[in-house]
A and B are shown apart, each in its own frame.
Chain A
């Protein structure tokens, strides 16, 4: 009896020093556990792109790295891929909107885990990473280059010419300009496929949950656990941010304005599909190396994507992996910090959404503690430094 009283006194004393919200044990139901396990394992197996014959090729990866950092791909000699996709900034740039040859209208997305995507860029204008690598080279606001300039650079630079010939089996000088541009895109893609985000505290927790490792799962902060519970529960964040990549790979309108200036709008996914359907650099085009051609399983979404009115003003659901490192947020970079992102969802203006039926998105009306918990969870999706 005395022992019990002493134990009770010790427990009361211990709990008295902890705020009540923190003292609550965070446990997960079986359904929640199932939902959490779906966010892994991480990393997934490497992706090999059948439409790119040099995908996974070491020589192409080396050439791609070289080209990625080479500003001479732009005629001005000032803009490289790495100018906006900076390795030390999680392959983003930390700016509100990208600045290449001119100021753009969209935030630079991180390239980490890009190889696992189906559609590329905020509007999904490309269905391959190599196509997505060609687009900024020729975009007037980005590198403002042309195929002839790229071919001349590769053909006349001794080092690049040798690496190109070694990788593709023919010299850039002997090829037409467009095939050289495509090959450059494919080497760049081979390099970018290697950019895979590191494991995170969340991954350690998720795997511990899978194996029943209580000691390991207890190392995951309670605040992050509560945030995770919100994320998969009443927050309904996991409706779109799902799977190991924390994205459904599709597009949605979350009430972020798409006006880019007086009388100017960013059509988002609508323009992306239009661009895709007009592009020669797709899985459905002559430059794809996939022997199955249009019948390839990987080409099924490309063949069936539909240009619908509701794509207007929709933007890609981004991965949340490494989200702590990729501020500012949203397609136009209008939200500077993670707390601002959380506030956006907490106080969402449904008038901005083009809702026709029951709302999928609704204001979360989070308490200050819930907002902090959600932030703790989101931060746990970045590797520990």
Chain B
């Protein structure tokens, strides 16, 4: 039993760096703050105004490890100081990988995706611009 536990622990140790290395560091970060960086893809890649879409997020933390904490996401139009009519939900699907549902941009124009990560020393805020045609 103890041996099995040891093997499981060793396997986890072996796999953790492998998974982290697969995701981090991100080749082309779309947003970064301190030791944290992320990139994302949208589904569909080019959302339609007024239609829901999904976001997959890859996030890295200190030491180029896969980020494992919670992520809050949102979007707003900075020039107009208003956001979406919806609050997206986020689930963690793999180390450093998150899927956010419930995005809906109801106007064309300059939007900004906002991310809040739980950093070691407090909240870490990242953002990335998005032009919605």
**Nearest CB to that of A119 among chain B residues?**
B85
Interface residues in B106-122 (C-beta closer than 8 Å to A)? 106-109
The complex places the Cα of A305 from the Cα of B107 at a distance, in Å, of 16
The complex places the Cα of A311 from the Cα of B101 at a distance, in Å, of 21
Q: A342-385, CB under 8 A of B: which get 1 and which 0?
A: 00000000000000111110000000000000000000000000
B106 touches which of A248, A310, A356, A357 (Cβ 8 Å) = A248
In the complex, which residues of chain B have a beta carbon less than 8 angstroms from the beta carbon of A243?
A: 48-50
In the complex, which residues of chain A have a beta carbon less than 8 angstroms from the beta carbon of B79?
A: 357-358
B52 to chain A, nearest CB (A): 5
The complex places the Cα of A242 from the Cα of B81 at a distance, in Å, of 22
The complex places the Cα of A44 from the Cα of B50 at a distance, in Å, of 16
B85 engages A357 (CB within 8 Å): no
A304 engages B88 (CB within 8 Å): yes
Any B CB within 8 A of the CB of A268: no
Any A CB within 8 A of the CB of B80: yes
A303 touches which of B48, B84, B89 (Cβ 8 Å) = B89
* Majority secondary structure, A binding face: loop
Any B CB within 8 A of the CB of A239: yes
B85 engages A250 (CB within 8 Å): yes
In the complex, which residues of chain B have a beta carbon less than 8 angstroms from the beta carbon of A242?
A: 49-50, 108
B89 touches which of A251, A304, A357 (Cβ 8 Å) = A304
Q: A46-83, CB under 8 A of B: which get 1 and which 0?
A: 00000000000000000000000000000000000000
Any A CB within 8 A of the CB of B87: yes
Q: B69-91, CB under 8 A of A: which get 1 and which 0?
A: 00000000111111011111100
A261 to chain B, nearest CB (A): 28
In the complex, which residues of chain A have a beta carbon less than 8 angstroms from the beta carbon of B50?
A: 242-243, 247-250
Any B CB within 8 A of the CB of A26: no
Any B CB within 8 A of the CB of A102: no
B106 engages A250 (CB within 8 Å): yes
The complex places the Cα of A115 from the Cα of B49 at a distance, in Å, of 19
Known: A248-B49, A303-B102, A304-B101. A358 touches B85 (CB 8 A): no
In the complex, which residues of chain B have a beta carbon less than 8 angstroms from the beta carbon of A247?
A: 50
A306 engages B86 (CB within 8 Å): yes
The listed residue with most B CB atoms (<10 A of its CB), out of A248, A305, A311, is A248
A352 to chain B, nearest CB (A): 16
Any B CB within 8 A of the CB of A301: yes
Q: How large is the interface on B (under 10, 10 to 19, 20 to 34, 35 or more residues)?
A: 20 to 34
In the complex, which residues of chain B have a beta carbon less than 8 angstroms from the beta carbon of A311?
A: 85
A239 touches which of B48, B78, B82, B108 (Cβ 8 Å) = B108
**Nearest CB to that of B89 among chain A residues?**
A304
The complex places the Cα of A359 from the Cα of B79 at a distance, in Å, of 9
A357 engages B82 (CB within 8 Å): yes
Any B CB within 8 A of the CB of A308: yes
B86 engages A301 (CB within 8 Å): yes
Any A CB within 8 A of the CB of B104: yes
Interface residues in A244-279 (C-beta closer than 8 Å to B)? 247-251
The complex places the Cα of A287 from the Cα of B15 at a distance, in Å, of 45
B107 touches which of A239, A301, A308 (Cβ 8 Å) = A239
**Nearest CB to that of A356 among chain B residues?**
B81
**Chain B residues packing against A (C-beta within 8 Å):** 48-50, 52, 77-82, 84-89, 101-102, 104, 106-109
Known A240-B107, A250-B104; further 18 A-B contacts with Cβ < 8 A: A239-B107, A242-B108, A248-B50, A248-B106, A248-B107, A250-B85, A251-B85, A297-B52, A300-B101, A303-B101, A304-B89, A306-B86, A308-B85, A356-B82, A357-B79, A357-B80, A358-B79, A358-B81
The 9 A-B residue pairs with the shortest CB-CB distance in the complex, in nearest-first order: A304-B102, A357-B81, A248-B50, A250-B106, A304-B86, A356-B81, A306-B87, A357-B80, A358-B79
**Chain A residues packing against B (C-beta within 8 Å):** 239-240, 242-243, 247-251, 297, 300-301, 303-306, 308, 310-311, 356-360
Sample (24) of A-B pairs whose CB atoms are under 8 Å apart: A239-B108, A239-B109, A242-B49, A248-B49, A248-B50, A248-B107, A249-B50, A249-B106, A300-B102, A301-B104, A303-B89, A303-B101, A303-B102, A304-B86, A304-B87, A304-B101, A306-B84, A306-B86, A310-B82, A357-B78, A357-B80, A357-B81, A358-B79, A359-B80
